Amino acid sequence: MSQSFHNESANQPSFNQQQSLNHGGHEVMDMHETLGEIIAGMNQSIILRPHVKDPELLSILDRQYNFTLGMYNTIVESFKTGHDPSVPTGRYQMETGNNFTYGLNPGQPKKPMQNANEMNDETISGFLLGAQKGTAKCMTAAATETTNPVVRRVVADSIPNCIEMAYELSIYQNKHGYYQVPQYSQQDMRTILDSFGTTTNPLH
């Protein structure tokens, strides 16, 4: 009797094993896609880095890569173990202002490159921006499908960092005229802003 009980206990997974396997099927697949998206963005930064000419863009690329490296390791650790990571989720800090120039100015139509020699800072910053947007979307989908509470929190807390890095790149692009931001007329803007109102009618 005791021998049989001992054998059953030996076959039971440990607490740590149970925690590491505490993932649903949808979560696993969305996390697989999310981590692949992060890796693709980091690999893209490595490939593009030698082609950057603007020191400001190079500084942004390096700071974002280094932050993303730590974020990636934190997510992987929490995903593999199911426990709080040894390095908690950080907070990305931009080193630039947040002013946008509004309005459209005519320029040359954008079109695909014909050869790799056309690579420039506008193209590179566009690649980096696209990678951050893609990662933010993957993380959002993964966080809403995640059953493991630690992984859900780590991923959810990482989404604002991707948004912040994308925002920094969009500010850079706007400042250099790569990304123009149109605006409505003041009258139309006021009409839209005034089309919603707050309410004070909570449920009891």
Residue written as tokens 């390095």?
Answer: 87
Is 32 domain-assigned? yes
CATH of the domain at 123: 1.20.1260
Is 76 domain-assigned? yes
Give the span between the Cα atoms of 171 and 97, in whole angstroms. Answer: 8
What's the total number of domains in the chain?
Answer: 1
**Cβ(30)–Cβ(38) below 8 Å:** no
Is 9 domain-assigned? no
Q: Which domain holds residue 137?
A: 24-96+119-178
Is 197 domain-assigned? no
Is 55 domain-assigned? yes
Is 38 domain-assigned? yes
Give the span between the Cα atoms of 46 and 124, in whole angstroms. Answer: 11
Is 110 domain-assigned? no
Give the span between the Cα atoms of 16 and 66, in whole angstroms. Answer: 30
71 token code pair: 């974020």
Residue 106's pLDDT is 87
End-to-end distance of the chain based on CA atoms, in angstroms? 58
Residue 197's pLDDT is 92
Going residue by residue through the chain, which has 204 residues, state the pLDDT in tens, using 9 for 90 and above.
444 444 444 455 454 555 556 766 778 888 999 999 999 999 999 999 999 999 999 999 999 999 999 999 999 999 999 889 999 999 999 988 888 999 988 888 888 989 989 999 999 999 999 999 999 999 999 999 888 999 999 999 999 999 999 999 999 999 999 999 999 999 999 999 999 999 888 888
Is 91 domain-assigned? yes
Neighbours of 191 (CB within 10 A): 11
